[in-house]
Structure 1
Amino acid sequence: MTEKIRRRASSKGRTLDLIRSSGPISRVELAELTGLTQATISTVVRELLTDGVISETGRGESTGGKPRMRLEINPASRLGIGVHIGQDYITYIVADLAGTVVGRKRVDGPGDDSPVSVVARMTDDIESLIVGLDLDRHSLVGMGLAMPGPIDRIAGTVRGVPSLLGWTEFPIRRALATTTGLQVELDNDATAAAIGEYWLGATVGYGSYASVYMGSGIGSGIVVDGTIYHGLSANVGEIGHVTVDARGPLCPCGNFGCLELFAGPRAIMNKATDAVARGELDIPLTGKTSVDFAALGTAAARGDATASALIQESADYMASAIVSMVNLFDLPLIVLAGNAFSTTGSIYVRTITRVLAERAMVRDIHPIEVRVSVNGNDAAALGAATLVLQERLSPRSLRSVAP
C-alpha cells in the first residue's frame, strides 16, 4: 500500500469513526474536528455515502446561512461477528456499526475436545446464527476472535494458555477462516473487551484507561492516549502473570507467585471446594469454574462469611496488582470486565477504589475511577465483533479526532 493510499484509508477511517461516535454531524464540523481540508472531507464523505456506510439525515438549524446537511452512521450496513473462546463457554455475538447486539449465542466451551472438532462445531454454530438471524452475508465484514493469551497474532495461534493447553500452535485463525469463508481477526480477550468499551461510548472523556478482564484467567487491555497498546507481539497487559509473591508457587507460565495463583477464579474455587468438603461453605459445585465462581459471589453477596473472605482475598490481591499498573501507565480509569465479575463486581470495585486512593502514586493529583463493564458477560465477544469492524473500517487508533 502506497503512502497516499494509507493516508486516504486513515482519513476515511477517522471520518467514519467520528460520524459513528458524534453524529449527526456536518461536513464542516468534520473538517474542523479532524483537521482535514474541506476538499478531502467532501471526497471521503462521497465515498462513504456510495458505500452505504453513512447517510444524510437532513439539514441542521441555520446559523445565518444555508443549513448544513447532517451525516450519520448507517448501523445495519455492516455487521461483525464476535467469538470468545473461554474455558467453560464459547460466546457468539453479531453487532452492527453502532455496537448494538443483533444476536447472540452461548454454547459449552472446548472442554477436552480437540481443536479440529471444536472448529467444526463452531463452524456449524456460526452458520446457524447467520441463518437464524437472516443476516445479509454481504454486510458481514468478518469475524473477530477473542481468546486468552498469550497469542501470536501473526501466526494466528495461542501458546501455552492454561485452559487451552491442547491448542498451542493450532492455527485457529486460519482454520476458522477456511471453514466459514470469513476474514478472521485474532486478539487477546482483554484487549477485545477494551475496544468494546470504547465502541459503546463507555469511556467517553477518558483518553487512557485499562480494561481488566477476568474469566478463567486475568488479563488487561490498555489504551494510552486513545490508542490500543499492543506491545511488540500483542501480548501486553498480562497482569495475571505479574509476580505478587516472589516466593510463591510455580505458575504454568514458568514464573513464581503470579497474581492468577492467588486471585484467579480457579485458585479461589480450589479453596472454596475444600471449604465445601469441610462443611464450612454451602454452594452448589458444577465443575465449571465460571459457574461455581458466580455461585460463590452470590453467597458472598448474601453475607456468607467464608464466601466473602475468599472473594475479598482475591480482590485484595487484584487491587495490589492494579496499583502497580496504574503507577506504570498513569491511568485515570479501570474497567472490570468478564464473567468473573458478574456477581462480585461491587466487591472488587469497592476494594480496588479504596486501595488506589490509599496507595496510587497519583492519588493526590487526579482521581482514578473504577467501574464494572457495561457489556457484562459478553465483554470479550462484543469487543471481538467491534474489533473486526474497527479493523476493517477504521484506523488502528481509537482516536477519532487528530491531536
Structure 2
Amino acid sequence: MGDFNQSVILDAVRRSPDGCSRVDLIDATGLSAQTVSNIARRLLDSGLIVEAGKSGTGPGKPRTILRLNPAGMYAAGVHIDPAVLTCVLLDLTGRVVEHSVRPTPVGQDPQQVVASIQTELEQIISRSAVPREKIVGVGVAAPGPVEIDEGMVIDPPLLLGWHRVPLRDWLARLTGLPVFVDKDVTAAAVAEAWAGGDTGAGSFVFYYVGTGIGAGVVLRDEVERGSSGNAGEIGHIIVDPSGPPCSCGARGCVAVTCTPQALVAEAERRGVLPDTRLSSAASDVAVQFSRLCDLADLGNTAALDIIEQSARRTARAISVMTNMLDVDRVVIGGPYWRRLSAYYLRRVPVLLDELSVTRSIRAVPLVGTGVGDDVGAIGAACLVLERTLSPSATRLLLEG
C-alpha cells in the first residue's frame, strides 16, 4: 500500500505541469496530511521531485511547490517497426533527451535487429552524457502478438522469421538493463497518456498508423491491455464488404484496405504508381507510399481518391471502437501519420460524426497525437516509467 500511495503522489505531481503544493496533493489524492508529508520527503530525498519556489500572496504561510525532477530518472525506448527502427532516451518528465532513427535491418534474423538496437542504445546514451546508473530500464514496442510475461514476440505477420523471439532476455543480456516488451499500439497509447498533454487524459482510443494498423485503448487513465496483453488487433474489422479478399476469408478488412501496403497496392493496380515489382518488404512499401502522398500533395486526382477512400474506411473502423467504448476522443499517430494527417483530419471527423451512435448527445473529437512522429519509441520508454511510477489497481492485490 505504501508503494501504491507513493505512485499516486508521483502521478499527481506529474499531472501538474506547473507544480503543486502538499495541500494540493491532499486534495487531489484523498491521502492524509501526514502520509503526503512523509511521501513527499522520501521523494525529495531520492531526487525524484524538487521544491520549485513558493506560491500564495494572501494571508497565511506560502505553500512550497513540488515538481518532478527531470534528471531524477531516465528511461530508454525502442520502437521496432518493420520499416523503421527508432530509439529514444527520456527524462522523468517524458522529454526526449536523445534519439535516433534508422531503417530496420533487412532480413529474417531477429538477432541482427537486436544487435542493432543495442548499438543504437549505446550511441544515444553516450551522446546524452546521462549517467548510466540513472537509466532505470529499456522499453521495447514491437508488433504483436507478444507474450508480455515472457517478453517474447510471437510471429508478427510483417516481421518474417520472428518465431517466438525472446526479445526481452536477449536485449537485457546485451545492455545489462531491465527490459520491458509491449505491443507497439499499446506503447503509443501509453506515450499519449504520459506525454500527450490534454489529448492523453481520460478515456481515448489511439488509432495507430504504422506498417500495420492497430489500436491502443485507455479508459479512465488506465491502459487496457487485455487478458494476454494483445488488445487492439483491429486488422479484421470489415470496412468495405466489396473490398479486396483478406487472409481471414472475409473481404475489405482494415488489413487489406487501410495499411500503407494496401494503399500502395491500390495505387499500382490503378496505374497511379508504376508497378515496380519490388518485394513487399516494408522499406519498399515506405518508398512507394511516400510517392503516393507526394502525388496527392501535387493534386493528382487518382492519388487523392485513394487517400480519400482510405479516410472513409478508416472512419468506419474507428466508429466501431468509439461506439463500443464510448471514449472521450480519438487520437491518431504513428510512423505514417504525418503524411496522411492533413487529409484525415479534414475528412475523418465528419464521417465519424455521421457514424456515431451518440451524435445527438455529443461529438467524439479526433485529434493528431501530441507526442510526435516518435510516439512508439517514446511510449516504449514511458512503459518503463509507467511500471516504475504510475498507480495501478493491480498493485493493490492483497493477500488475506
The normalised TM-score by structure 2 is 0.91
1:295 equivalent to 2:283? Answer no
What per-residue deviation string (whole Å, max 9, x for no partner) do you get for residues 114-139 of structure 1? 01122122212211221122221111
Partner Cα separation in structure 2 for residue 17 and residue 61 of structure 1: 23
Matching residue of 1:325: 321
SS of equivalent residue, structure 2 residue 198: coil
Q: What is the number of residues matched between the two proteins?
A: 388
The 3 A distance-change label for structure 1 pair 359 and 94 is same
Equivalent in 14, 23, 29 of residue 8 of structure 2 = 14
Per-residue CA deviation, residues 64-84 of structure 1 (Å, 9 max, x unaligned), is 211111111101211111100
Aligned to 2:116: 121
Equivalent residue number for residue 250 of structure 2: 256
Question: Which of 328, 331, 335 is the matching residue for 2:331?
Answer: 335
- Rate the CA distance shift 1:216–1:139 in 2: closer, same or farther, 3 A: same
Q: Please show how residues 20-99 of structure 1 align to structure 2 within 5 Å.
A: 20-22=14-16, 23-99=18-94
The 1:250/1:174 distance shift into structure 2, 3 A limit, reads farther
Structure-2 change in CA distance of 1:218 and 1:204 (3 Å): closer
- Contact 2:193–2:200 (CA under 8 A) maintained in structure 1: no
> Are 1:266 and 2:261 an aligned pair?
yes
Find 1:313's aligned residue among 306, 309, 316.
Answer: 309
Q: Distance in 1 between matches of 2:87 and 2:151?
A: 19
Of 349, 355, 360, 1:353 maps to 349
* Deviation digits for residues 44-69 of structure 1 (CA, Å, limit 9, x no counterpart): 11111111010111221244211111
Amino acid at match of 1:105: S
Instruction: Calculate percent identity across the aligned residue pairs.
Output: 36
Could you give the per-residue CA deviations for residues 219-272 of structure 1, whole angstroms, max 9, x where no partner exists?
0111111211111011112122323356866645x4533211111111111122
Change beyond 3 A, Cα 1:182–1:101: same
Distance 1:283-1:32 versus aligned 2 partners, 3 A rule: farther
- CA change 1:98–1:255 in 2 (3 A) is farther
| Contact 1:27-1:41 within 8 A present in 2 as well | yes
Runs (5+) with no aligned partner, structure 2: 394-400
Checking the alignment, whether the CA contact within 8 Å between 2:215 and 2:234 is kept in structure 1 is yes
* Residues in 1 aligned to 2:231 and 2:102: alpha-carbon distance in whole angstroms: 29
Superposed CA offset, 1:121-178 (max 9, x none): 2212211221122221111011110012121111212223111131121101111111
Which residue does 2:398 correspond to in 1? none
Counterpart AA for 2:185: A
Aligned residue for 1:336, secondary structure, equals strand
- 2: CA distance, partners of 1:204 / 1:63: 34
Q: Which SS does the other structure have where 2:361 is aligned? A: coil
Is 1:105 aligned to residue 100 of structure 2? yes
Query: In structure 1, what is the Cα distance between the partners aligned to 2:136 and 2:184?
Result: 20
Give CA deviations for 1:92-115 in whole Å, capped at 9, x if unaligned. 011111111101101121321401
Distance in 1, Cα, partners of 2:236 & 2:378 = 25
Q: Which amino acid aligns with 1:121?
A: S
Which of 144, 152, 165 is 2:139 aligned to? 144
Structure 2 partner of 1:368? 364
1:196-275 pair list within 5 angstroms: 196-203=191-198, 206-244=201-239, 251-252=246-247, 254=248, 256-257=250-251, 258-275=253-270
2:153–2:162: 8 Å Cα contact kept in structure 1?
Answer: yes
The range that moved more, 38-47 or 341-350, is: 341-350
CA contact (8 A) 1:209 1:332 kept: yes
Alignment counterpart, residue 155 of structure 1, candidates 150, 161, 166: 150
Q: Tell me if the contact between 1:283 and 1:296 (Cα under 8 Å) persists in the aligned partners.
A: no
Which piece of structure 1 moves more, 237-246 or 91-100? 237-246
Contact 1:215-1:290 within 8 A present in 2 as well? no
Distance 1:196 1:220 in 2: 13
**What do you get for the CA RMSD once the two structures are aligned?**
2.2
Distance 1:207 1:147 in 2: 25
Contact 1:245/1:256, CA 8 A, preserved across alignment = no
Q: Secondary structure at the match of 1:170?
A: coil
> Alpha carbons of 1:25 and 1:204: their partners in 2 closer, same or farther (altered >3 Å)?
farther
Contact 1:281 1:306 in 2 (8 A): no
Q: Distance in 2 between matches of 1:205 and 1:118?
A: 31
Match of 2:63, as an amino acid? R
Q: Which moved more, 1:217-226 or 1:367-376?
A: 367-376
Between the aligned partners of 2:276 and 2:126, the Cα distance in structure 1 is 37
TM-score by length of 1: 0.90
Question: Secondary structure of the equivalent of 1:244?
Answer: coil
Cα distance in 1 for partners of 2:265, 2:240 equals 19
